[in-house]
């Protein structure tokens, strides 16, 4: 599996942190839907997430359409932790003066 983009890391982290619906993930990450939804689809295809549709009765009671509920998989947790470790391993860059 290729490494995750910072946007994908943000989406996966939001789901791992308990944010389970597309619009809520958009709000949590500050990313546009055109970034979040394709990322969710790719991560589900790659086995990092799983999803299921909310029951219709539950959605009707809330007076809205059914939503997809996203959950991180064990593989998703492993990949997310590896990605976070790679980000934390980056060292700050210092500008060299041109004196």
DSSP string, 26-42: HHHH---HHHHHHHHHH
Q: Is the dihedral of CA 34, 36, 39, 43 positive or negative?
A: negative
Query: For residue 95, is it within any domain?
Result: no
Which residues is 69 bridged to in the sheet?
52
How many domains does the structure of the chain reveal?
A: 1
Domain of 69, CATH number, reads 1.10.10.10
Q: What is the pLDDT along the chain (99 residues), one digit of tens a residue?
A: 678 999 999 999 999 999 999 999 999 999 999 999 999 999 999 999 999 999 999 989 999 999 999 999 999 999 999 999 999 999 989 988 876
pTM metric for this prediction = 0.86
* Rounded-to-integer distance, Cα 17 and Cα 11, Å: 10
Residue 93 lies in a domain: no
């Amino acid at each position: 599996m290729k490494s995750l983009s910072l946007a994908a890391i943000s989406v996966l982290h939001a789901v791992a942190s308990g944010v389970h619906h597309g619009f809520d993930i958009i709000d949590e990450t500050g990313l546009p839907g055109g970034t979040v939804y394709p990322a969710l689809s790719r991560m589900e295809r790659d086995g990092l997430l799983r999803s299921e549709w909310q029951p219709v009765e539950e959605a009707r009671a809330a007076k809205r359409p059914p939503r997809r509920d996203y959950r991180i998989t064990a593989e998703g947790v492993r990949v997310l932790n590896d990605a976070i470790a790679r980000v934390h391993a980056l060292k700050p860059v210092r500008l060299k003066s041109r004196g």
